[in-house]
Structure 1
């Protein structure tokens, strides 16, 4: 079994699967399989994410993981920015309801807050920052954004987070109704990681 050459700052299996699916068509299956390890494979505590932006929080995670493991580290931070809420939940998207990672509660709260907002004012965008930090201290950052609108109720059983209520511009389906390949082609995280892919390739293809 190959030793990992890159560590991903997540314990969320959905995110690791998504990252591998995004990178495989660009780098090749062999270049991805088994070479990216989640942080849960290491005894590493999650750092306090006290940045003011998605990029700052992603860098905090990547630097902490790189320092703890000695491996290049990739991290992302992403969320939903709702126009009428001034960009909230934003960096607090994963813990909007008060408990980190409770997708159902976060979505319930958001839908309740937007209950009386008409469709014309339900614009929003998904935002993602993807970063790579190497042991020599070099940083590489990219950002992806996808505009869309929010429904008043859930649709679709795929995806995670706010996917069941987000309809990207030009689509009639939520990102939770899309096959994973289609979602990855248009998603904010897909855009950010594809832009970062050449830097990730340098790490994975290193001998």
Structure 2
């Protein structure tokens, strides 16, 4: 019997990305929305990505059976002392659009030259097993912030984030390419060996 993995995110872009990355793993991967938890939401009020990711995973674990995967991602801009960081999703305020966040970022970097617009994305993924054991991993993608949005394949800060190794924004590259180099892909790749081990184990709930 295949084990079920439930993603704590309701973000369709993020869910698709994670499903694509895990598609060759021997799990049935579903999002919380697909199993009737569209209204489930967790206030991300912790001080670190690690704490937020684990909070999202453990809160959903209280409601469902299966392996829970939750992540938290931040964009850290050197010229802004690491902002927006843990507040990336709500940089311009609560319930704002991606465009609102991007516009504020561009405004705050208005007079910063290209060579000083270095930044990195960091994703932390938390996995909580059926027996409440958990483990975590992170992935980092280095780059810099452009002066204008480019590309239409992506979400969040992707149109502004120029990948160090390609010279293109995350929105200018294909899903397949992104899933090989992205911060989220790296975090999940760092978990792959552990997840493969989990796939072969018979772990019962407490």
- What TM-score, normalized to structure 1? 0.89
How much has 1:101 moved relative to structure 2?
Answer: 5.7
Q: Is 1:37 aligned to 2:30, yes or no?
A: yes
Q: Deviations over 1:51-106 (max 9, x none)?
A: 11111100000001111112220000002100011111011111111134621111
Deviates more, 1:195-204 or 1:112-121: 195-204
* RMSD (CA atoms): 1.9
Instruction: Say if 1:55 and 1:61 are closer, same or farther in 2 by CA, change over 3 A.
Output: same
Measured in 2, the distance between the counterparts of 1:159 and 1:205 equals 34
Measured in 2, the distance between the counterparts of 1:100 and 1:115 equals 24
Where does 1:37-116 land on structure 2 (aligned, <5 Å)?
A: 37-40=30-33, 41-43=35-37, 45-100=40-95, 102-116=97-111
Q: Which has the higher relative contact order, 1 or 2, with Cα contacts under 8 A spaced 6 or more apart? A: 1
Measured in 1, the distance between the counterparts of 2:2 and 2:10 equals 18
- What TM-score, normalized to structure 2? 0.90
- Give the secondary-structure state (helix, strand or coil) at the position aligned to 2:66: coil
5+ unaligned residues in a row in structure 1: which ranges? none
Structure with higher helix content: 1
Other-structure match for 2:8: 9
Where does 1:147-166 land on structure 2 (aligned, <5 Å)?
A: 147-166=142-161
5+ unaligned residues in a row in structure 2: which ranges? none
